Each structure stands twice: as structure tokens, then as C-alpha cells.
Amino acid sequence: MDLTKYLSGKISLNDFVHRINQSGASFHVHYWGVMPKHYDNQLHKHSFFEVCFVVDGEGTYMDEKSNYTLQKNSIFLSRPGVLHQIKSEHGLSLLYVAFELVDSESNESWVHIMKSAEKCEKVILYNNSETETELLWKSLLIQATRHKQHFFEEMLTNIAGSLIISILQDFVPDLNRNNNQRNDPEQHSAFLTQARLYIHDNLSNCLKLTEVARHLHISGRHLSRIFMTELGISYSKYVQDERIKKASMLLKRSDLSLKEIAEETGFMNVQYFTRVFTSMMQTSPGRFRTMFIDIHTTTYSDT
């Protein structure tokens, strides 16, 4: 499988497939990757899931304190908050995707499934033959290279959704036990819904807790408690995550300068934006843009 043929598909996926709603789950996709030659990266962690498929090559994957051999047809899962690292002397041909569940838009069953995924014991799988996940990934890339088709975005999103669910079925036993269950979507309070909409529509603003609370005619303490109780994260963390999500999308889909993106997403200056983005995404905004929109980027090394 020659990955250079699919570099334009990588760009299409990063342009069009950001949000996937399927089977009661809503996933936010941070990025799609196609890297013909991936060497070493630094020890790092994410706040989201990242899954890599080894098309060819050999290397080593470190997850926390465990080391695993990488070879052709290996697939490995990097969990949120877990330190990990890839090493390869001669380079790996890699496909990868980074995603997280949007709890507030997903049913309770999916929230439990993703909690199980965060604790799964098996983080790497070795396959001797083609699997459903590999075939779906290949199909997705083939479709992504075919521009100007009818329902192009819809086809990509549907295949991408099937791929992510297939990946999770590989690693999460709970998903295989529960995949026929249908639950009603979690119902969040009207205050939370209004707050999320206000934040989404005003990311270029300061968005102080007191400002949003005043807009909703409730106290700041009440609003803070709503986020912790219903989403399990602080108000400030939620706002920062939304700023970075929008910044990632603008880096992939627009020609705006870093200064303009920083302003559009509510960061006080480019330096602060760069520091926060690099901390959360483990790469600088400029490098992120190059990685996911430049068809000529075929090699990665961070040593």
C-alpha cells in the first residue's frame, strides 16, 4: 500500500471530517494522518485518543512503562493522559487518527464505553491478514482522493464513523457486548445547552465565567457546578478545549495567519496561543498546519 497516493486524501479528510454522529455517539476528530516515513517522536501525551495503523516498517512503541514491537499490520491505541512514544530507525508507513467522544451529544452507553477504552489493557494488536478496520481505512482513503463526487462529504463521514467504531470494537470488549443496545441520548440541563451555544458563538471574546453566567441569569458558582456535575470538567477547561478545537479547524481549512487565528479563537496574543496549542496538541500551530494540509509532507521525525 503506497501511502504517497493517499496524501491528497489526508487533506480532504482534514477539510471535511471533523464531527461524526453515528449509533448514538458524537465524535470530534482532531486530525487525520498519512505519513509514508515516520521516524521518532518525543515522549508525550494527549487529552484525546490517537490510533495508529502500521502499513509497513518496523519500530517500537512505548506506552507508559511498557515497550511493544511495531511491525506491518500492527494497530495501537494511545489513550488520553498516557505518556507514549514511537521510535523507528528506518521509518514506519503510518495511518493515524485522533478523536474524542463529545459526551454532551452522546448517549450514556457510549460514555461508559469510552471510559472503558481509557482503561483498556490491550493497547496494541498484531494481525496476519486484512481486518475490517484495515479495509475500512483503505476504503476511506480511496474515497477521500476522489474529488467532486456527489455526496462526497457524506460518504467520507459515514465511512469514517464506521472506521472509528471498528477500531473501538478491536480494543473495547464493552462495545462488543453493548453494540445492540439503544439508549436515549443523555439529557443535559437547559443551562448547559445555552452556555455551550454561547461559548461556541463567542470564542473570539474573553468568555469569563461571570460574563457567561450573567448572560444566563445565574451565578458564576452555579455555572461552574453545572460544568463539573454534567460534563466532569471545569468551565475554564471546556472553554480552552473549544478554542483549540476551533483553532485546529482553522489551521486545516483556512489561510488565516496565526495572529488572525489567535484573535478568532480568543487568545490574547500569538505567543500565548502557540504555547497553549503546543501543550495540548504536542506540536506547534505552524507544524500542525504543514502536517495536515501540505501534500508534500511525507516524512516525520522529532529527534
Task: Please provide the DSSP assignment of 25-89 as one string.
Answer: EEEEEEEEEEEEEE----SB--SSEEEEEEEE--EEEEETTEEEEE-TTEEEEEPTT--EEEE-S
Residue 59 maps to a domain: yes
Contacts of 167 (CB under 8 A, 6+ apart): 51, 75, 77, 97, 133
C-alpha atoms less than 13 angstroms from C-alpha of 272 in its C-beta half-sphere: 9
Residue 148 maps to a domain: yes
Judge if 72 and 128 occupy the same domain: yes
Given 183, 200, 216, which residue is the final one in a domain?
183
Judge if 134 and 177 occupy the same domain: yes
Residue 298 maps to a domain: no
Q: What 8-state DSSP symbol labels residue 149?
A: -
Given 136, 168, 183, which residue is the final one in a domain?
183
Number of domains in the chain: 2
Q: What is the pLDDT of residue 187?
A: 42
Per-residue pLDDT for the chain (303 aa), expressed as one digit of tens each? 788 888 889 999 999 999 999 888 999 999 999 999 999 888 888 999 999 999 999 999 999 889 999 999 999 999 999 999 999 999 999 999 999 999 888 888 898 899 999 998 899 999 887 788 998 999 999 999 987 677 888 889 999 999 999 999 999 876 665 544 443 334 456 788 889 889 999 999 999 999 999 888 888 888 998 898 888 889 999 999 999 999 999 998 888 999 999 999 999 899 999 999 999 888 899 998 888 776 656 666 665
Residue 297 maps to a domain: no
Kindly provide the b/e burial profile for residues 78-89, where b requires at least 16 CB atoms within 10 angstroms of the residue's own CB: bbeeeebbbbbe
The domain that contains 279 carries what CATH number? Answer: 1.10.10.60
Q: In 3-state terms, the chain is what percent helix, strand and coil (to 5)?
A: 50, 20, 30
Judge if 178 and 224 occupy the same domain: no
Secondary structure class of 108 (helix, strand, coil)? helix
Q: What is the pLDDT of residue 231?
A: 82
Judge if 168 and 225 occupy the same domain: no
Q: How far apart are CA 77 and CA 98, in angstroms?
A: 10
Residue 302 maps to a domain: no
The pairing of strands 74-78 and 124-126 is antiparallel
Cα separations in angstroms, 294 against 9, 37, 248: 11, 15, 15
Q: What is the pLDDT of residue 216?
A: 84
Cβ 220 vs Cβ 210: under 8 Å: yes
Given 183, 201, 216, which residue is the final one in a domain?
183
Judge if 30 and 72 occupy the same domain: yes
Judge if 60 and 170 occupy the same domain: yes
Judge if 217 and 152 occupy the same domain: no
Residue type, 38: H
The domain that contains 16 carries what CATH number? Answer: 2.60.120.10
Q: What is the pTM of this model?
A: 0.68
Judge if 263 and 201 occupy the same domain: yes
Q: What is the pLDDT of residue 71?
A: 96
Q: What is the pLDDT of residue 182?
A: 41
The residue among 204, 236, 244, 231 whose CA lies nearest residue 220 is: 236
Give the residue numbers spanning the domain of 214: 190-289
Judge if 31 and 163 occupy the same domain: yes
- When computed from its CA atoms, the radius of gyration of the chain, rounded to whole angstroms, is 19
